[in-house]
Structure formats: C-alpha cells, structure tokens
Amino acid sequence: MKVLNKVINSKWFQHPVFWVLSIYVIADYFSISNTLKSIDFYYSILFHIPLFIVVYLNLEVLIPKCLQKNRYLIYAVLAISLVNIGYGVHELVFEYLLPLLPTDYYMVSFTDWKWLVSIFSVYLGLTTLLKLSKSWYQLQRVEKEKLSIELNSLKTQVNPHFLFNSLNSIYSLALSKSEQTADTVLELSNLLRYMLYEVGEDEVNLSKELEMLENYIELQKLRSDQSTKVSFNVIGKLNNKRIAPLLFFPLIENSFKHGVKGVSDSAYVDITLNLEEGITFNIKNNKGTIDDMEGGKYGGIGLENVKRRLALIYPNNHSFEIIDREKDFEVKLNIK
C-alpha cells in the first residue's frame, strides 16, 4: 500500500496521466466527426506542443522564481507574456512544422485567437492552482510533523524530573524496612508504565491521567514533612472525557518542588479539578525557599512547557492564568 501511494503521488505518474487525459479531451473537443479518429489525436498532440511549453515554463520558472517569492506583479506580466508565447508557438507548429511532417493529413491551425488564449490561460491557471495547493499541502504536512516532534519533545521533558527523588525515597523506606516499600515501588512502576507506553497518544482518558497523578502525589508525600497538607479534589463526573497526556503533571510537580521546600507548618499543596463545565484545573501552594540554582523564579521550565503545549494542542480554546503572590503561588487552567 505504501509503495502504491508513493507511485500515485509521484509526478512521474501524475503528469503522464494528466497529459493523456488532456490529449483525449482536446481530441474530443476538436473532433471533426461524432467518433474519434486517428486524425483527431494527431491534431491534439500537435495542439499540446505549445501547452507543454506554457505549463512547464510556468511550473519550473515563473512559480518558483516569481510567485513563491511574492513577486506578484512580475509573475502577472510574465504569465501574460507566456500565454502570448504559447499562441505564437501554436501558429508556428501548424504553419511551419506540420508541412514538414510525413503525413497525409491536411490540417490547419485553429485560428480563433480568443479561444486559443482562453485555453492557454486555463491551463496556466490550473497548473498554478495545482502547484500552489500541493505546496500548501506539503507545508501543512511538514508543520504537522514539526508540531508532533515538538510535542513529543515536550512530553519527554516532564518524565525524568521526579525519578531520582522517588528512588531516593524508596531507598530510605527500604533501609528502614518500612511496610510501605512494596506499595511505593508498585506506584512508581505504574507511573513509569503510564509515561512510557500510554502518553504516545494525542489524548488519553482523563481517568487514567487522574490515576497517574494520584500515584505521583503519593510518591511526593513520602518526601514531604508529615505536617504538609496535600489535598486533591475532583468535582463533577469524568464521563469518558479525554485530555492531552501529562498536561497537569508539570503543574503538580512545580508545586511540590517549590511549595514544600523549606519545611514549615504552613506548607501545603491544594489541587482542584472541576469537570462541570469543560475542564478546570486549579493548583495552589505556599512559597518555600528557593535555592541559587532556581534563580529566584517560581515555575521555570515546567510552566513554560505547559504554556507551549496548550498553544499547540488547544489554540484559542483555553485560558492559563498564573497568580504569583507574596506568600503563595497559584495556577488556573481552563480547557473549553
């Protein structure tokens, strides 16, 4: 199937098919009787000599050198000139070339210049539209591939940040022979399985995304002080809703990274997911201490990652608000 599609999309297939059909149509149009005869095809082939010149000069010279470089006025002038050249070549073919050919057919030029100019103009305009539409399609395909590559790159950015700290937490549990060790390993395993095998899709079931987030929150609680207050509330019904994977993950990661740092009785992370109208995700945390490596800035790569993915996946269909207060940090995300 791939080979067949490649052949069909090749110009070495499309162009001959186009010209064969064109020769047939012209032969039928100028036919001298009710049935097509060899003289009709002979005439049509000669008629196509100036058409070949008009079409391929347009495709190979005028469009790439003028039209695609936004030289519209120059293109218009040259296109009109090219139609006139086609008319001149048509006259030369039937006045000078035809008598030199070894044939018993007697044919004269189709001398109605208005019809000739109209036909040459139609072919020139048609090939221009086909060329531009094909270029547009190829551009859209390239842009789509670029977006896909960028989205995959953004997904991989959110994967490794938590792994090292999670393994350290599990190591500490193992040293203390905690009964939580096995469950924690299972939570991490489920989380990694989700990230490795299920986020390749453009969208996932929101229920799976929530399960992943709950596993992540449980892992983060291991690293948090017991006094840290963590809440995750879901309002409304899932109803098989789907969403881009790992969209909320950097926001939660960011809250634990910054809010819980600098242990204090006031440390908290408050998460609310409202599904009553669209999807509204709200997360709020206290501000902990910031080390030199973070440059005194909350959010960083995680928030920029989310902004970029929202722009790519939900353009003009979302709102993303960051509220940076003196003592707390809040993010509100709404997807319509």
Q: What DSSP line would sit under 110-127, residue for residue?
A: ---HHHHHHHHHHHHHHH
Report d(CA 209, CA 183) in Å as an integer.
19
* Residue 204: half-sphere exposure toward Cβ, Cα within 13 Å: 19
What are 105's two structure tokens? Answer: 């057919």
What is the band of 55 on the pLDDT scale with cuts at 50, 70, 90? Answer: very high
Specify whether the CB–CB gap between 195 and 234 falls below 8 A. Answer: no
What is the band of 296 on the pLDDT scale with cuts at 50, 70, 90? Answer: very low
Residues with Cβ < 8 Å from 105, sequence gap 6 or more?
39, 42, 43
For position 85, what pLDDT does the model report?
Answer: 92
Specify whether the CB–CB gap between 224 and 230 falls below 8 A. Answer: yes
Specify whether the CB–CB gap between 286 and 268 falls below 8 A. Answer: yes
What sign has the CA pseudo-torsion 218, 260, 251, 295? negative
Average pLDDT over residues 150-165: 59
What is the band of 292 on the pLDDT scale with cuts at 50, 70, 90? Answer: very low
The residue ranges of DSSP E strands in the chain, in sequence order, are 204-205, 229-235, 242-243, 268-274, 279-286, 318-324, 328-335
Sequence length of the chain is 336
pLDDT in tens, 261-278: 555 567 888 999 998 888
Residue in the structure block whose two tokens are 């997911």: 273
pLDDT in tens, 297-316: 545 566 777 888 788 788 88
Is 117 a residue whose pLDDT tops 60?
A: yes
Report d(CA 260, CA 254) in Å as an integer.
10
Q: Which of 36-40, 81-85, 176-180, 301-305 has the lowest mean pLDDT?
A: 301-305
Q: Distance between alpha carbon 150 and the CA centroid of its chain, in Å?
A: 9
For position 295, what pLDDT does the model report?
Answer: 44
Is 194 a residue whose pLDDT tops 90?
A: no
For position 164, what pLDDT does the model report?
Answer: 72
Nearest to residue 241, comparing CAs of 214, 209, 215, 213? 209
Report d(CA 198, CA 245) in Å as an integer.
8
What percent helix, strand, coil does the chain show, rounded to 5?
Answer: 60, 10, 25
Specify whether the CB–CB gap between 314 and 278 falls below 8 A. Answer: no
Average pLDDT over residues 230-249: 86
Task: Return left, alpha or beta for 181; rule: phi > 0 is left, psi -120 to 50 is alpha, else beta.
Answer: alpha
For position 294, what pLDDT does the model report?
Answer: 45
For position 140, what pLDDT does the model report?
Answer: 63
The residue ranges of DSSP E strands in 22-104, in sequence order, are none
Specify whether the CB–CB gap between 322 and 331 falls below 8 A. Answer: yes
Report d(CA 233, CA 237) in Å as an integer.
12
Residue in the structure block whose two tokens are 């408050």: 270
